[in-house]
Amino acid sequence: MSGSLRLALFGPPGAGKGTQAQLLKDKLNLAHISSGDLFRHHLGEGTELGTRASEFMNKGLLVPDGLVIGMVLGEVAGLGQDSGFILDGFPRTREQAEALDTALKVRSQPLDLALLVSVPEAELVRRLGGRFICRECQAPHNLEESQFTSPPRCERCSGELYQRDDDRPDAIQVRIGVYQKQTAPVLDFYRERGLLKEISGVGAVEEINARAITVLGLDSPGQVG
């Protein structure tokens, strides 16, 4: 049976949103909707949307709302009425947050919670520079230089690992700036509605996940979904 929690995950690039989304998805049996993964999928398939989005993604800029909103809300609309979900990387602008709010109201399924994973900037820069993604299962890996194998392989499925264009140093700085300017203000949207919770994203992955489970109020038996 799928869980029914409706959650949006926030955090600067490199905060570990994708990793936490995967863990929460598996533990709570939720659908995982990642706007970045959807764009990368479109790009891989060579669609027009993928090509248009990549012009912005490669520079570390946000893809225009007009391209993002329809794509993500289309995914949400495709879920079963009672299916819970984790939004990962969406909404990133006030306009996206308002469009999501309206779409979920129409379904009578408002968001339960917005969860912010916060990490200091110096740590983000260090992490993103060593981040590699699996081409097969999209799992993110953090590789120190000493861990490089040739070619690097995924520890989950042995797929090939690659570094995203937007994880190169110049794009990293742009993405952090874009987050601070365009996405951090979206947090106020949820704070004003009493939906925002925050956890520290520093520490071991399982430790951070335990914080998320606690803050979601799901750490006592029988409370899941």
The site for ligand AMP (CB under 6 A) is made up of 13, 35-36, 39, 56-57, 60-63, 68, 89-90, 92, 96, 166, 175
151: cis peptide before it, omega within 30°?
Answer: yes
Active site residue 164: yes
Question: Minimum distance between the CB of residue 1 and ligand AMP, rounded to whole angstroms?
Answer: 28
Selected catalytic residue, list 17, 40, 127, 197: 17
Active site residue 6: no
Q: Which pairs count as long-range contacts for 100-109, CB under 8 Å and 24+ apart, including other chains?
A: 100/8, 100/72, 100/73, 100/76, 103/73, 103/76, 103/77, 104/6, 104/76, 107/76, 107/81, 109/6, 109/81
Q: Distance (Å, rounded) from C-alpha 184 to C-alpha 193?
A: 15
Q: Which one, 127 or 175, has the nearer CB to ligand AMP?
A: 175
Active site residue 17: yes
Selected catalytic residue, list 40, 127, 175, 197: 175
- Longest Cα–Cα distance of the chain, Å, equals 51
Question: Minimum distance between the CB of residue 195 and ligand AMP, rounded to whole angstroms?
Answer: 18
Active site residue 92: yes
Selected catalytic residue, list 27, 153, 164, 191: 164
Question: Minimum distance between the CB of residue 6 and ligand AMP, rounded to whole angstroms?
Answer: 17
Q: Distance (Å, rounded) from C-alpha 150 to C-alpha 160?
A: 10
Q: Which one, 57 or 218, has the nearer CB to ligand AMP?
A: 57
Q: Which residues are catalytic?
A: 17, 92, 131, 164, 175
